[in-house]
Amino acid sequence: MKTRNIVALSLVSAAALYGIGAATKSLPLPAPWRNAPVVRTAGAGTELAASASAGEVAMPLEARILVRGQNARAEEPSVSVVRNAAAFSSLWASVAAPGAAKPEIDFSKEAVVAAFMGRKNTGGFSIELVTAESLADGSVRVRLRNLSPKPGMMVTQALTSPFIALAVPAAPDAQVSVEFVE
């Protein structure tokens, strides 16, 4: 599998992304990642970690898909890792249907990963979970795949903004990285 992008956000980055502490601000969209360089940040107070080596041992994790859909508010492709309830509330408001019950997340045991494809001119696009893994160094790696309609496939003729949000087991100080694979 060919790696296209790896993005990992720290607690501080997630708080800044979602404007935590500024109750009167509207929800900002997550930062774009299209053509972005590889970014590796660890949990608060830890050093940057090297990417996983080819021979690294990985244990599969059970990730819960919290919500997926076609109508996020994100105009640009982006990924975020959310590590606290306030940031999750902001994220949930940007993706959930009005009145949808917000799932319970225990941030002492889980992190939320959200990926946004950005605006698309038709339907037929989606993001799927490939794997979630715990690595030997205690970090968590989530692999996602962007899916596009095949040539000639019938699709809805409407603007869409595909997304997925999932909860993955992760210690509060564990680095969580996201890879998009072919």
Of 14, 19, 117, 25, the residue nearest 71 (C-alpha):
117
Other CB atoms within 10 Å distance of the CB of residue 80? 25
What percent of the chain is predicted at pLDDT more than 70? Answer: 69
Lowest mean pLDDT among 26-30, 114-118, 152-156: 26-30
Which has the closest alpha carbon to 116: 106, 108, 127?
Answer: 127
The domain ranges of the chain are 3-181
**Residue 91 φ/ψ, nearest 5 degrees:** -60, -50
Q: How far apart are CA 139 and CA 134, in angstroms?
A: 6
In the predicted structure, residue 167 carries a pLDDT above the cut 50: yes
Length of the chain: 182
Please tell me the distance from the alpha carbon of residue 112 to that of residue 63, in angstroms, as a whole number: 10
The pLDDT tens digits of the residues spanning 120-147 come to 999 999 999 999 999 999 999 999 999 9
